[in-house]
A and B are shown apart, each in its own frame.
Chain A
Amino acid sequence: MSAEDTPKDYSESPISLEYQYTAGSATTRFLNQVREGKLVGQSCPKCKAVYVPPRGSCPRCGVATDIEVPLTDKGCIESFTVVHIPIPGNPIVPPYVCAMIRLDGTNISFLHLIQEVDIEEIRIGMRIQAVWKPKEEWAHSLENIKWFAPIDEPDIDVRTLRFQEL
């Protein structure tokens, strides 16, 4: 039986699509500031919630977040997880910590790394600050921040960060 005659019990049909991704005009404004090493959130004109990174609308109110709010690069750990499983292609060696970062003065958290601290010491409410890459390496990306590291400030009770209805 030649190779061509061998019955196949499966076939592969790989799928690949290419896209020109656009971040949206609001996120573009945010990324242009990140390029300069600045974190600028956007605030909802109705409920005043501050979003970072902004996606252009307040998902609670359904209106454009067109008020720019300059932010510090300090905040606290709202939640975190210790990653033990290596992810193919990811240069970070486990175990490491991914955390939901809540920047001061904002109403939403985003995911980033926590480093420069023993994993056992990491806790919810811990105060942290961004550690930036050298300026020469800055791009239109939150990867301009290498990771967040603890700072010597008292912990925050994250329950106080819950959004208060106006």
Chain B
Amino acid sequence: MKKVAVVGYAQHPILQNAGALNEVELIMPVVHQLFADLGIYQDDIDFTCSGSCDYLQGAAFAFVEGLSAIQTNPPIKESHVEMDAAWAMYESMLKIQMGDADTALIYGFGKSSPGDLDSIISLQMDPYYISPLWPDRVSLAALQARVLLDQNIITRDQMLAAVIEARVNSKNNKNALITDLIDESEYLDNTMISSPLNKLDCPPISDGSSAMIIASEDKAYEFTDHPIWIEGIDHRIESSNLGSRNLSRSNTLQVSMGQLDLNNIKFDVAELHTQFSHELPFLKSLLNLADVPTNLSGGPLVGNVMMCAGLDAIGKTFESLKENQFKHGLAHATSGPCLQHNMLVHLEKQK
């Protein structure tokens, strides 16, 4: 495998409602910021890949308009994934491995405020057996939370701790949407949305965008003196048939862990794309991260831009490694109901 590094990352402040700002107006400042930080231009980028969801905008091929946020003349090589931009990063990684590019710009954007996110996410699921039932994302997550609680894999106290810690950690994240602290009684008094998940167990509706640049070994040092290397990356999908899944475990994550040899790495930090409070203790135990500081950015519970939050987990891990005396970081991105599709990224800072 060719060595590839994350060299830069920028994030729009996460907004509850971006109002009149459209998607292009959300992406442009972030990409400009990233270019300015690194002192580069679009001409320095070989491949551009974005992640977004047309259903969020409610228009076919809406992602094409997103391209208006970046310089496309002279013509550029670009692609798009109808997924979280973490997978745009994966595609870019492949492009570099294939020798088609040495540098890639990745951006993701999501404006959840204009529509009904529950219905929209429902349409992202299996179109034959699940979408026609219109299950909302919170109810599906609650299904898994219930299984995990009933089997004593996680506890209610761990969910409470995840919510409280997310608020505490939001102080590390200048772009966090939710920053006010809460206590146990506030949590317990909160309205149940879909048992066992109350409002605070769920991520806030968020608008925003993020961008990242990755580069091959040859180019990385041209962009920064401190590249953070992608030492391993793996993504796998559980069955789309919810009824055939055992929600108390994740076979595919186990396989990914083996591929990345995670059990032999001492991680200093992890950022997990855990949108619901129960997912944090579940994944921490699954990934053997019990003693690893996790979601120091607050994670999706303090700001969850759809189609960005996975890329943000990678970006926040990158930032943590850059700014601290950390060596190994683990980032996780997910999509689909009940942690169906998961990506793990092992980032490493080398001397």
| Residue A134, interface by CB 8 Å | no
B20:A57 contact, CB within 8 angstroms: no
Residues of B within 8 A of A21 (CB): 58, 114
The answer for the CA separation of A22 and B70 in the assembled complex, in Å, is 21
Of the residues A15, A19, A58, contact of B115 by C-beta under 8 Å:
A19
Q: Is the CB of B68 within 8 A of A62?
A: yes
Q: Are B21 and A25 in contact (CB under 8 A)?
A: yes
Interface residues in A1-56 by Cβ distance below 8 A to B read 11, 13, 15, 17-28, 47, 55-56
Which B residues from 35 to 66 make CB contacts under 8 A with A?
A: 42, 55, 57-58, 65
Q: Residue of B at shortest CB range from A28?
A: B20
Take A60-B73, A61-B71, A61-B73 as given contacts and tell me if A15 and B22 are in contact as well, using a CB distance cutoff of 8 Å: no
> B120 interface residue, CB < 8 Å from A?
yes
- Fill in one digit per residue for B279-300: 1 if any A CB lies within 8 Å of its CB, else 0: 0000000000000000000000
- Cα(A62)–Cα(B28), bound, Å: 7
Contact yes or no, A62 B116, CB < 8 A: no
Is A64 an interface position by the 8 A CB rule?
yes
On chain B, the residues within 8 Å of A28 by CB distance are: 20
Q: Quick check: B24 and A24 within 8 Å, CB to CB?
A: yes
- Does A63 count as interface, using CB distance less than 8 angstroms? yes
**Which of chain A's residues have a CB closer than 8 A to the CB of B240?**
none
Q: At the interface, yes or no: A86 with Cβ under 8 Å from chain B?
A: no
Q: A57 vs B65: C-alpha distance in the bound complex, in angstroms? A: 10
Instruction: Tell me if A94 counts as interface (CB < 8 A to partner B).
Output: no
Name the CB-closest residue of B to A24: B22
Please tell me if the beta carbons of A22 and B115 are within 8 angstroms of each other in the complex: no
Known: A62-B42, A64-B28. A27 touches B116 (CB 8 A): no
Q: Is A59 an interface residue when CB atoms closer than 8 A count as contact?
A: yes
**Choice from A22, A23, A57 contacting B69 with Cβ under 8 Å:** A57
Name the distance in Å between A123's Cβ and chain B's nearest Cβ: 30
Chain A residue at smallest Cβ distance from B133: A13
Contact between A59 and B72 (Cβ–Cβ < 8 Å)? yes
Select which of A15, A17, A25 is within 8 A of B20 by beta carbon. Answer: A25
Minimum C-beta distance from A35 to chain B (A): 15
Q: Which of B20, B42, B72, B119 is close to A24, meaning CB atoms less than 8 Å apart?
A: B20
Q: Which residues of the other chain, A, contact B120 by a CB distance below 8 angstroms?
A: 17
A58→B28 CA distance, assembly (Å): 11
Q: What residues of chain B lie closer than 8 Å to A62, measured between beta carbons?
A: 28, 31, 42, 68-72
Instruction: Determine the distance from Cα of A24 to Cα of B67 in the docked complex, in whole angstroms.
Output: 15
Residues of B within 8 A of A13 (CB): 131-132
Identify which of A11, A15, A59 contacts B68 (C-beta below 8 A): A59
**Interchain CA distance A23-B59 in the complex, whole Å:** 13
- Name which of B20, B58, B115 has the most chain A CB atoms within 10 A of its CB: B20
Identify 6 new A-B residue pairs, CB closer than 8 A, beyond the known A19-B114, A24-B24: A17-B116, A17-B119, A55-B22, A57-B24, A57-B28, A64-B25
A-B contact pairs, 13 of them (CB 8 A): A17-B55, A17-B58, A17-B120, A19-B57, A20-B115, A24-B20, A25-B20, A25-B21, A55-B24, A59-B72, A61-B71, A62-B68, A64-B28
Residues of B within 8 A of A (CB): 19-22, 24-25, 28, 31-32, 42, 55, 57-58, 65, 67-73, 113-116, 119-120, 123, 131-132
